[in-house]
Amino acid sequence: MKVKGISFFELHAEKILLGLAVLLLVAVVAMQLLGGGTRVRVDNREVAVGEVNSILKQRAEQLAASLRADSPAGVQLFEGDPPLIAAAFEESMDAAVAPAARLPQSQPALAAALVPSDIAEVAWYYEPKFPAVSMGEVVQTSDAVTAEGWADLAPLGGRFESEPTSYDITWLTPSASVDLASLRDELRRSAARSTPPRLAVPSVWFNDMLYLVDVVFERQRLIDGAWGQIQVVEAFPTQDSYRPYLADADAALRDDVFEELRLPARQLEVLQPEFVATTNGSFVAPLEVDSSDGSAEADSTASGNAEELRRLRRELQRYRQDEARTKARLDELGGPLRDDEEKPAGRPGSRGSRGDRGGSGGGGSGGTAPPRGGGLGSGGLAGRRGADDAAQDEATKKRRKALGEKLSRIASQIERTEADIARLAPGLDAGSGAVELLDINTAGSVVVWTHDLNIAAGEVYRYRVRVDAYNPFFARTTQLVPEQQPLAAGFTRGTATSEWSPPVKVTPPVAFYLARATPSEGALGLGSASFEVFAFRDGKRRSQTFSLQPGDAIGERATIRRPGQPSAEIDFGTGWYVIDVISDPSRDDVSGGDRTRGAIVLVGRLDDPTVVEQRFVEFDRNSEMRRRFLDEVRAADSAESG
């Protein structure tokens, strides 16, 4: 049957499409094979796929050629000897790369502190150089020591070894101010820029604290207008002093210092020795006081007594500081002595062992040092180290009793001074009584002093001082470089020596001050003068005023009458007399005013006519010593009337 309407293309459409697909596939394959397809990168350039085989073949031929024995090296060899860089390297190593020639070691400092050996190189250390201290005032005090106090002074020898006819005594107390902050800074200083660099001393070498081991005062006496030989003032007998042990110092002494002087009260015993027991407690410690004492307020209420008020406020501060120091020492010893602890004591003046005399042995008399062991405690250091437990216990009780009595005296002085302030300026606030005990490891400065009994009335002296601190290099020889090993020899390192103090003349037991003088007065018209004469007898300061004319002796025996007390005859003789009363040319302006001040009084010694002095009312009235004498007179009168 014939099929109608189907064309040739419709009948063979499937075959035609299949044929076209085969032709397209053959064309793509042909293009790839003939290099007309995808390109690839060889040696950082694009090439056709067909070229890859020829490139690889070429590379293989080049590699095979270079592996042959006769192929060239392909590198440029050195012409001549190669350059040497060893010298240049050494030069660069020796060149400076920092401000110092050598950089400071960091970690070996700890090893040097802990390992006492020389198994490795040891660092250099900074050597502390302590600045000089500043000399302060030299205070003169007169009082009467108790019989027990006299026995405590026996280590000084001489007059203190025999029974006295009088317990009256006069002494000088030189003082100085120590800049504690500068000492602490110097201990911790380093010098990284020095050559070689100096490290700070390891803190473990000095227990990270400042220890002031000794205070050494030196004295000169004026002889015929020239200063005599320099003498060291001995440590006070009752003082806790390490001085006798420093020449033979060892590790035991270092342990004592670390253990004892870490306590502020014990450290102050070395720096501020107490005097022996006296009947009046007249000594006023030369402590630093706050200069902002409210004087402006005082000026408005004191009616011309501002200077006297300032002086009283300064003394009140000193009394309070002394009270705080005494309380701290007493607390360390166990507090005030109770009645049930008291025991009958032997004869006060008997010569027993040092430990039996209230621990007064250490400090100044020399002799054989007792065995070590113990440390600072109730009395002198030597007495404690050499005494047995029973003797030390008895010494502690005596010290507690003495400190308790001192506290009572200070309380009376504070009460009396506060009453004087209230009398001069009613309603003026005298300040708080709370005073903290000074700690040399936190305070900025401290006043140090000693007591000098080897003086004579009428003589002129001057003083200077150095303070010896614990040497952090002591016994560290193996931990120091050879050049610094001598630093380990001494137990202490001293400050620089201070300047000399101003000269001070020792006032005799009887002193006089010009109170009034008028030329051309008196029965003969030769002028007249009035003198205040102060006599110190039996622990009391007395005063009497004498009106005199030229030719009269200054002072004589006089009877003192006291309310409620028997009268007493006191010798006010001074050994001086009035030569003349003349007008003061510099005070002509007083002709119409106070003529009692416009005069000069010439006085001379009865036993030496070549000695003549000029006295001025203004100068004598403002004398600080006269003010102190007036205070002592008032205190004596108050004690007798109370």
* pLDDT tens profile 427-455: 777 666 666 778 899 999 999 999 999 99
Nearest to 475 by CA among 255, 260, 267: 255
pTM score, two decimals? Answer: 0.67
Is residue 626 predicted with pLDDT exceeding 50? yes
* pLDDT tens profile 542-601: 899 999 999 999 999 988 776 666 777 889 999 999 999 988 776 655 444 555 557 899
Angstrom CA distances, 360 to 239, 385, 386, 405, 565, stand at: 7, 12, 12, 17, 36
Distance (Å, rounded) from C-alpha 86 to C-alpha 94? 13
Query: Is residue 583 a contact partner of residue 614, using CB atoms and an 8 Å limit?
Result: no
Distance (Å, rounded) from C-alpha 340 to C-alpha 395? 16
* pLDDT tens profile 259-268: 999 988 889 8
Strand partners, 604: 577, 612
Distance (Å, rounded) from C-alpha 52 to C-alpha 60? 12
Angle at 194 between CA 189 and CA 197, to 5 degrees: 75
Query: Nearest 5°: phi and psi at 217?
Result: -95, 145
* pLDDT tens profile 191-211: 989 889 999 999 999 999 999
Token digits of residue 452: 């000098």
Angle at 363 between CA 360 and CA 367, to 5 degrees: 95
pLDDT of residue 575: 92
